[in-house]
Chain A
Amino acid sequence: MYDVCIIGAGVIGSAIARELSRYDLNICWLEKSEDVACGTTKANSGIVHGGYDAKHGTLKGELSAKGNSMFKRLDKELSFGFAEIGSFVIGFDEDDEKEIKRLYENGLKNGARGLEIVDKEFISKKEPYINKEVKIGLYCKTAGIISPYEFAIALAENAVENGVILHLETEVVDINKEEKGFIIKTNRGNFTSKYVINAAGVHADDIARMVGINDFDITPRRGQYLLFDKEQGYLANSVIFQTPKNGTKGVLVTKTYHGNLLLGPSAEYIDDKGNIDTTKEVLEEILQTGKKSIPEVDGRKVITSFSGLRASSKNGDFIIEESEIKGFINVAAIDSPGLTSAPAIAVKVVDIVSNLGLQLKEKENFNPYRTPINRTENMSPEEINELIKKDPRYGRIICRCESVTEGEIIEALNRPIKVSTIDGIKRRVRATGGRCQGGFCTPRIIEIISRELNIPMEEIQKRNKGSNILVDRTKKAFEDYKGDC
């Protein structure tokens, strides 16, 4: 029997797994997708918010400000990449000014750091391409950007290296409460555990219902995004919000951690938890709204669009508590600012299980550090040459848009969490994520995966099973051909 079973390997599950991996516990971790960070986490703005926005007195208010303050240290330990570029809420009129002042006061109460109300001159100096009509702004020095899935992967890898047992492609189908704990039934057999932590994102309500909890519903709220060529990255130096209207933070314009320009998200309530389509009307609206912040954004430089689902609940706050079923902890309705709050949520969850009586004894050999994948792009010529001497594959660039070498791709295939998909590689080293969107490098990456993992080329998937890139060999003469690529 496991001590703890975590359901869901998004950023919340990953943060909890990593936090719990400090202690001497048997932990199993179940994820239905083929990789971690495949749900809400992968389609996220990647903003580490200042913590001024969420209403004081709510869990969101408390945990976002606290979460923000944890990122620098986490990045030191896990090397996922965090840039404290600051954020602006910009205002154009008196109504905006009132709201900005309210946000400032609210932020102080939440304990948000680095807040300042600033004038047009201040904003224009930091953001030369900002709409000239801007009058006032709320600057938050401590806001920053990360790549959300790289953050989750870093947490998850560190958790796994510290002993958490992750089961991918393992979908929970039922949960039974027994006297001593829970039997968690999956497509890959049963798991038993004393405690269950439900971090199943948009499916958290479905998982809760399996043990008879019916007191909350998750309504997915879709957010669509436009990602621009790095050539457009110069247009924003920080995260730029417009003054919130109707309670949402609205469309932001930001530079991403890797230097692209990102616009989004929309906020659309939808019924289908699998619907991450993008729509023409909404993408157009995002572009137009974004242009209100930065008029020079060039719509022709979009390299891809995508959408994700926020896991929202009716009352608007996070649900982080032991449920009516003893030992079953819900970590649900984690919508924005969930990414920012993730590290603080994890600490809170550990407190909850500890209070419930789980013995927490710190491991002697807990290793908080994670070695990242070598990134030649960030190295000096001398460092690159050292690396190439050891392994020449770091001298062969496969993805030319993002400058990713064969050595880096092979590293991505051999991390603590094994992946064999094109998207899995993209989320670890960015190959196929650049301006040509894999047009040139996909064939070569397929060859590398096939060769390294000994999988026939036509069986290589973009992501989960059924998303194969190739369907067949061209020639009948190949029928008995086993391939030597």
Chain B
Amino acid sequence: MKYDVVVIGGGPAGLAAAYEAYRNGVNKVLVIERDKELGGILNQCIHNGFGIHHFGEELTGPEYSQRFIDDIDKTNIEVIVDTMVLQIDEQNKVHAINNENGYMIIEAKAVILAMGCRERTRGAINIPGSRPAGVFTAGTAQRFINMEGYMPGKEVVILGSGDIGLIMARRMTLEGADVKCVVELMPYSNGLTRNIVQCLDDYGIPLKLSHTVVNIHGKDRVEGVTIAKVDKNLKPIKGTEEFIKCDTLLLSVGLIPENELTRACGIKIDRRTNGPVVGELRQTSKEGVFACGNVVHVHDLVDYVTEEGYLSGKGAALFVKDEMNTDITHKTKNGYGIGYVVPQNININNIENEVRFYMRVKNVYKNHVIKAKVGDEVIAKKREVKFTPGEMIGFSIKKEQFEKLVGNEIEFFVEGV
């Protein structure tokens, strides 16, 4: 099997990447999806709010992904589902397995990684107590309810106020569950305000900020949890413990890019994003391998995943046509208050009009400005009433500005006004 571009993952990132590679003149494109159908996690995200930026309307997850599946259907892009990629070898050959073709070794001129992310588990955040059934990540519960038609519980406490946690609070309430509260370790929520209002306030579900779960009770099935207030160092405060009876604990405590394949083939990983270090066209440190979507960094809006998919698809196409410049001309640096910046590397020769940088801040900053500077010169800035770690910040720098730069390190930082 020989292809120009092989895309690993048929969720929103992979679909956009495949389509864009095709549109840029690549003839043989293959999408490999591990689930039985295309669409990725969007298939279980049946709530609306997707596509406001990309399509200018509010769609549900399945509707959003179907638009891209429809696009792909009109092309000669090949798709294989129910297929797991096991390895990308030194020559960028993709080793994959399924029940029809067996073990396949697929040759690719360029590979695009679009495997998405997974949820943090109980172990990752070390919640003590017993180990009964009834502790789920929010996404697993979402799949059970929205795709399998099963309720994982009836009396629910949710730990973590990220968007999936908030969405599941409403979803389980609508399906008849009693959601007791959403518990958030930080003094602020990582979720969108819209979701706090429409998923919690609408149904009178309390949001307990600066609280955490300190114990899980129950031998066979969850019988309750103990929550407690935390201090400034996020340590539980003695004497504030409160027992809440429930049969289910949902965890919405963060997402981790799924980079096992990436690591195994020696691609350089950024410790802050947990994703590969990428360039402006989402090229990784391994020549011919590109990455996009939540595998690079965890996005909060699928619209931006799509944009990144397009970038990597275009990059892969240029690479296949031998029209891509593979050097690095500029690097980004995380200054004060900046958690991470993507892309980490730039090659100015590959830029058409501008580079859009995506970043997250480390803390909540009210009335602050984010600046980009090279040497002592501030080349761009962006001011907002509020920056929060939960909302990814987009920041564009025009090609002309790059051309004028004297240094090759662009530092982003937060500054008070």
Contacts and interface: CB of A to CB of B under 8 A. Distances in A.
Direct contact of A and B (CB under 8 A): yes
A443 interface: yes
A362 interface: no
B165 interface: no
Nearest to B98: A395
A138 interface: no
A475 B101 CA distance: 38
A472 to B, nearest CB: 4
Contacts of A457: 148, 150
Contacts of A26: none
A280 interface: yes
B126 A396 contact: no
A interface, size bucket: 35 or more
A295 to B, nearest CB: 17
Contacts of B100: 392, 395
Give chain B's interface secondary structure class: mixed
Contact of B118 (A397, A440, A461): A440
A258 to B, nearest CB: 15
A436 B118 contact: yes
Please tell me the size bucket of the interface on B.
35 or more
Contacts of A186: none
Nearest to B259: A231
Contacts of B221: 466-468
Contacts of B99: 388, 392-396, 406
Interface stretch (B133-141, B332-340, B383-391): B133-141
A240 B49 CA distance: 52
A471 B86 CA distance: 35
B263 interface: yes
B413 to A, nearest CB: 25
Interface in A444-458: 447, 457-458
Contacts of A227: 123
Interface stretch (A83-91, A107-115, A270-278, A341-349): A270-278
Nearest to A462: B133
A401 B258 CA distance: 10
A279 interface: yes
Interface stretch (A11-19, A149-157, A303-311): A303-311
Contacts of A300: 124
A473 B123 contact: no
B133 A443 contact: no
Contacts of B355: none
Contacts of B260: 231, 401, 435
A388 B97 CA distance: 10
A397 B150 contact: no
Interface string A273-290: 010111110010000000
A384 B153 CA distance: 39
A461 B149 contact: no
Interface centre among B84, B103, B134, B153 (most CB of A within 10 A): B103
B349 to A, nearest CB: 35
B181 interface: no
A277 B84 contact: no
Nearest to A389: B102
Contacts of B75: none
B152 A471 contact: yes
Nearest to A403: B86
B84 to A, nearest CB: 4
A461 B175 contact: no
Contacts of B144: 443, 470
Contact of A303 (B123, B129, B143): B123
Contacts of A440: 118, 140
B312 to A, nearest CB: 22
B235 to A, nearest CB: 10
Contacts of A397: 34, 84, 97
A246 interface: no
A129 B245 CA distance: 45
A439 interface: yes
A32 B354 CA distance: 68
B322 interface: no
Which of B84, B122, B124, B132: most chain A CB closer than 10 A?
Answer: B124
A403 B95 CA distance: 13
A278 B129 contact: yes
Contacts of A381: 95, 103, 105
Interface in B95-131: 95, 97-103, 105, 118-119, 121-124, 126, 128-131
17 contacts: A231-B260, A277-B215, A283-B126, A300-B124, A302-B126, A303-B121, A384-B97, A384-B102, A388-B103, A395-B98, A395-B100, A396-B99, A438-B140, A458-B150, A470-B151, A471-B151, A471-B154
Minimum-distance CB pairs A-B, first 9: A395-B99, A304-B123, A466-B220, A392-B99, A462-B133, A467-B220, A381-B103, A397-B84, A467-B133
